[in-house]
Amino acid sequence: MEWKFDEQEMFRLAGDAWKNGLPLMGMPSGAGLPNAGFSIWPFALLYGLHPSPLFMAMGVQWLNVLALALMVYCALRYEEPVKTKLLWGLAMYAVSLMPVLFARKIWAQDLMPIFIALMWWGYLHRKHWYALVLTGAFCAFAGQLHLSGFFYAGGFLLAILLFKQFSKKQWLRLFAGAIPATLPGIPWVLAVLSSGGGISHFSNILKLEFWLRLFTDTPGFNMHYFAAGEWKTFMAFPGGMYLPLILVSGIAGLLLFGIFKTVKHGFSEIKPSHPIGFLLFAFVIIPGLLITFSGIPVRSHYMIGALPMASIAFYVIVSKTFKYGHQLIVLLQVIFTVFFLLFIHQSDTLRGDYGTPYRKQLTQTSENHPNSRPFQDPD
């Protein structure tokens, strides 16, 4: 488990929220703007259930498991062959290193998958008024959870509008849920407007970071984000056998061959009228365009909402390699992810964003201060 300033601060803020009331403002974001108070609310609930960093991290894990289960439920609503493609894509997402690592972190944006899953569920159940009301609320709260949520909720709503998926009555029901859910965010919106903006810059548009990260973060081998200084060491793990390097080469080879065949033969699922195409437009393509043209620098944690549907697209690509290409890449991803988790377990400190794992910090604090109670929120 990661345990740096952001995680420690979220744990502290969650404790304050549980004891003193839910806040209207959250932690500052890397884009130079504050996050909304709702970003702390789910963690305040976890704190109230059990005030422990480990329990809070487990809560994030189980919410991600719930999100995956809900996505599987949604996938099962489709007919073949779409259903099989969705399920295999979600299998790739479930074992990819980046989603696995994000699902173990005490961070607001790591809860984004459950909101993506709920929007998908609401879309499939749009004939029911209560589903639309709840979907409207989910969209409003997604933006308050993290700034990237605005782009994913916006992409979802724009896809519905552009491809005429809702009637006027359905839109009214959607807004009936969205409007009340926006009220807690009004002080935050006023604070953002008075802040003078963030770090948006035209040069960031030209970098195309969102689209480049799709090809590194979706298959899971952008380890640079978590442990930039450990890349060479991990590639030789274990014991100089270079097994992770072999795995990365296999994953990259399957993807490149699949991309070549996709370019040659086409990608029929990209059409908005196709069920998979709509999901890609709603949660990858349109949000990617919105994020790109916003001019903000795109970090890997802004990709969390796109990874489930991007994995489905990658399944379609990899399935074009050979008959068992999709099964092989899932197996390679599982082994690669397990290797990195073992690597973390045996490392004292990972040079990069991951830092020193919680377990190591706990041991070091206990050894240096035997009578202390490390990382416990004060009463």
Domain layout of the chain by residue ranges? 5-226+233-357
Residue 254 token pair? 């399957």
Grouping H, G, I as helix, E, B as strand and the rest as coil, residue 376 is coil
The reported pLDDT for the residue numbered 378 is 38
Instruction: Please give the chain's pLDDT, 379 residues, in tens.
Output: 889 999 999 999 999 999 999 999 998 776 667 789 999 999 999 999 999 999 999 999 999 999 999 999 999 999 999 999 999 999 999 999 999 999 989 999 999 999 999 999 999 999 999 999 999 999 999 999 999 999 999 999 999 999 999 999 999 999 999 999 999 999 988 887 776 656 778 888 999 999 999 999 999 888 777 777 788 888 898 888 899 999 999 999 999 999 998 888 878 788 888 999 999 999 999 999 999 999 988 999 999 999 999 999 999 999 888 888 889 999 999 999 999 999 988 888 888 778 888 888 887 765 665 554 445 543 3
Dist. CA 220–CA 251, nearest whole Å: 9
| Backbone dihedral angles phi then psi of residue 35, each to the nearest 5 degrees | -90, 160
* Cα of 192 vs its chain's centroid, Å: 23
b (16+ CB within 10 A) / e for 241-256: eebbeebbebbeebbe
The reported pLDDT for the residue numbered 221 is 84
The reported pLDDT for the residue numbered 372 is 46
Of how many residues is the chain composed? 379
How many other CB atoms sit within 10 Å of the CB of residue 314? 27
- pTM of the predicted structure, to 2 decimals: 0.93
Provide the residue type at 133 as one letter. Answer: V
Instruction: Give me the residue label for tokens 């908005």.
Output: 272
- Of 338, 356, 346, 308, which is closest to residue 88 (Cα–Cα)? 308
C-alpha distance from residue 188 to each of 7, 135, 145, 182, 230 (Å): 22, 21, 12, 10, 38
The reported pLDDT for the residue numbered 103 is 94
- HSE toward the beta carbon, residue 43, CA cutoff 13 A: 32
